[in-house]
Structure 1
Amino acid sequence: MGRVREAVRSRWQVLYRRSSIQMILSLSFTAVAVVGMVFMGLTLFLRFSYTTNAQQAENSQRLLSQVNWNLDAYLRGMMRISDTAYYNVIKNIDLDEGSLTPALELLYGSNRDSIVSMAVFSEEGELLSATPLRTLKNSVSPQREDWFVQAMDKIENLHFSTPHVQNLWSDVDERYRWVVSLSRYVELSRGGAIEGGVLLLDMSFDGIEQICKDVELDDGGYLYLIDDSGEIIYHPRQQLIYAGLQQENNLVAAGYTDGSHQEQFQGQSRQVTVKTVGYTGWKLVAVVPRESLWTNYSQLVLFFLFVVLFSIFLLVFVNLRLSEWITAPVKKLDRAIKDLEARRSDVNFDVGGPTEVEHLSHSIRSMVSTMDHLMEDIIQQEEQKRRSELDVLRSQINPHFLYNTLDSVVWMTENGRTQDAVVMLTSLARFFRISLSRGSNVIPIADELEHARHYLTIQKMRYKNKFSTDIIAEDGVESLYTIKLIVQPVLENAIYHGMAYADGDGEITVRAFRDGGDVCIEVTDNGPGMPEEVVRGLLEGAGPNTGAKGSGIGFRNVHQRLRLNFGEPYGLTILSEPDDGTTVRIRLSALDEEAARRYRKEERP
């Protein structure tokens, strides 16, 4: 260690003897000024951070207390309605002698602004009374629902669910209502005997949402509500979070105690204030980005900037001549690089200056020459790769169409439906006439929609008209151009996964329209929909890529061809939820006749 220290000291002495007085003074003054600026900045920052954090935490806690009071009052009101239904109605009526429905209807009528539905179930899950909706869906088993299980497990408590779409009742209005379910165990009288049951109260989520929605935090902050396990009950960006476009640190916030906390989330420092809502275990969480706390303290920022700018002025004044001599060749080299970025051919890298800068300029000149040759090779290789991939994808899709269509013709022929087979073969001929398109991969959208219409004709005959179809095109869209065979695989998916299980009331709609500089073709069906993992599998190729029916090869084929032809923003987007149908949006660039002609030329090998 001593030898190292001595070597460093000797090195500094050599540098000191070789340096001029101007350099020594400049370096010394710069070092002193920088140290002073850093010390002053850190002192102001720590004091400012402590004061603003304390003030913001106090403001957030005060605001959360007010929201908590409003939310607690709202939930207490719901609990009072539940108590009234239990103690004033259920406990006073024997099921063998009277019905609970009239009294529940009266109670519902006086609270219909905040209550969506009320129902009483036996411990076996049998519906005993309900208002205003009285018919359960055939697919629903109440005794398996979370609210029912929780009420039967902990009979002494009231249980609040997280917000969900009410899916218990058959609603003639076909409305999707967001509710919070309040359930409790109740004792029912039947012929003088006592038996167990469950009282369900579906509260309108609008009341809770309105309480939280009206809250405004300073500095770009926001408030959200979670249950004791971290599930989001309300969030101002709730739809974006459910869609996976944004994230929230709600699971971590569920473990916070009441008070203010500092956290790092997605590279952002945030102040999080938590307040627990009584009875439910829910937590109100106020989030304020710490970066935004600076915006309200402009005077301190201006003072700090003044000190920094004044110090910089002194540094520039002292080191002006020295820095000019050092940076002049570097600036010339920077201008040469900018000329290179602007793709000028006459870039001069002879900038002179110190040995290091001169060596750097020669190295950049050599590197640029090498990169030009490499880029030319890469462009040629990528172009060949793109053409090869497009050829492979086009070779996959025609056998796939032919197999499925001929399968339908064989089926009809074996069953003696000769006339239908003739109609089907006629549609097949027109189908493949458009598919071949004289060898061109780019066809008018009108031909692509006609191609889809023939395919639907064939499939409707195969499925004995179990579904209806409608093809709609916005004015002017049919005269534009598209790569061929992009709608049929999507229709095939809609039929196999949606219409195959329909009972005569299936619907498939194809709609083509302009969206800015793009064209969108949407295929919508009212089938059973698909869960999220199936949607990801269709686009990402998670399922088996075997070419069998339902494997999704045609679907992925369309998505990959659009990406290869038009780029990353284009392709397929799937909007689907179980029991809610499916919409597949095909997005492609709007090609007029001139653009289509250029596209055909670029596509030729």
Structure 2
Amino acid sequence: MKNLPRTFEGLKKTYQKRSMQFILSLSFTFVAIVIIFGIGIGFSRQYKEAANQLTEKNNTNTLNQMNLNLNNYLHNMMSLSNTFYYGIIKNTDFGKDDLRMVTDSMRLLYDSQESSLVSMSVFDGEGKVVAGQPFSKLKKRALPNEEEWFKKASSQIENVHFSTPHVEKIFINPDNVYHWVVSLSRSVELTVDGNTQPGVILVNMNFSGIEQICKNVDFGESGYVYIVDDKGEIIYHPRQQLIYGNIIEENAKEAAQYSDGTHMETFQGEERQITIKTVGYTGWKIVGVSPVSDFASIYTKNTYIIWLVVIVGMILLFFINLFVSSRVSTPIKKLEKSVQEIENMRLDTRISISGSYEVRHLGKTLQSMVDNMKRLMDDIVKEQEGKRISEMDALQSQINPHFLYNTLDSVVWMIENERYEGAIVMITALAKLFRISLSKGKNIITIGGELQHVENYLIIQNVRYKNKFVYHINVKEELLLCGTIKLIIQPIVENAIYHGMEYMDGEGVIDINVYEKEDGLYIDVEDNGPGMQEEMVEEINQGTLRSTREKGSGIGIANVRERIHLYVGQEYGLTVFSEPDEGTLVQVHLPKLTLEEFEERAGNRYEK
């Protein structure tokens, strides 16, 4: 708290040092943000309350419609039982009348409701079947008078009773099909030989009828509806089999105690909105379950939209304020930024020329100064590059005196020993080697010329080393006329001989392969020599290891790579692959161009 005044004073001084654009933008933006933020909070709260009310209203309407459909279904079943009782049983004396007429009447009634009925039967007071359709024969161990529906109908004769869902199992079914049913039972009076006695009618409703009514209910993303009786026994549940198998649980006992309306409960750690509607005739309760997370997620999504609009509004107002306040200061800021780019040696930067006359004039002057500076620097770079190319060309034209002396010494030795053919071969190869090395002063030659130069060099070295190695040159004829830089293969072959073949115990092999790929022309020089350590290969590929020039022409691999970069660009070059005792592969990558195209790419400035 002691440092608060000092902090406030520091912020005040910082604020005063800011530009007019910053002060105006900050002030207007702050006021706008406060207002829009307050509006956003108000809308968010109002929407949350409206979303809860709308969810509650929709759930209630959904259950009312479901209750109406279920009431119609149950009422239809009760009407059918009334027709069965008052239209057939009341008009029949089961001691005197022909039971076939009763059966026919029952068949007609059953056929009219076959889609929703499984069976309809009438029993006497002891549980014996008097008549039934389509089943009338009981199973051997069936005891109807011990069934719950029979007991309820016998003890509460004034009511119609509906059972919980169960498998119909007392009748013999010729098709051996077991039906999932809800039983409607009621007490009736049977006439037998003019006397009345108690009886029970049983109407087994196909449970799929109730299931279809419930399945078609849309109760949100993960909400659902189930039905319980007044004791909390489940009549229908979308996960009924899982509940019967004790895999999941449902709060049915508690739900049966709720009154009609909307309630909030927490079950198994989940907050849920419960909507209750009691079904007439039965005492059943329709229970709608909506996890709070469902409408909370909808609320959250819409809240995100509200806050997105708020944020967009804030940003829009910020930029409007920024635009208004920047009309004067922006040109100077742009000019300042351009000068900073120039300080960082980004000379391609274009100076911003805008604003008032004075600022535009200053921008034009700076642009002129930068253009002159860039032109002078380009001239210096071109001069240095030309100097490097001249050095590379001078280096390429060198022939190591040791190589020339050893070659001529071998020729003299052959003549003295009357091996004239060998001497002729070496002199001819040496002449061709010099002729191609000169190439009329050009540094760009064909692949065919470069390979001929290498072959002459190999002929000379093969004689000197007394056929210690063999070589193979493989190239497609159509590639021979492609352009290349002169003397880029011979230094690689030279290294293969001096550092590979010279130390071979057996016969050495040098393979030269020229081929093309999508990204250009490749020249592979591979030998079966002793190879190199990984560290040396890495240094060569990174350009940190250069030839010692103890032997050969003196043109090292690093120089070959640098000449390729100078002539055709950094995307081309040379790569070495080698492992100890596995030989060495040097791969040269060039653009696939004709001789004329290659010369044009190199700028034709390398001709002497």
Choose 1 or 2 for highest CA Rg.
2
User: Could you state the TM-score of these two structures normalised by the residue count of structure 2?
Assistant: 0.47
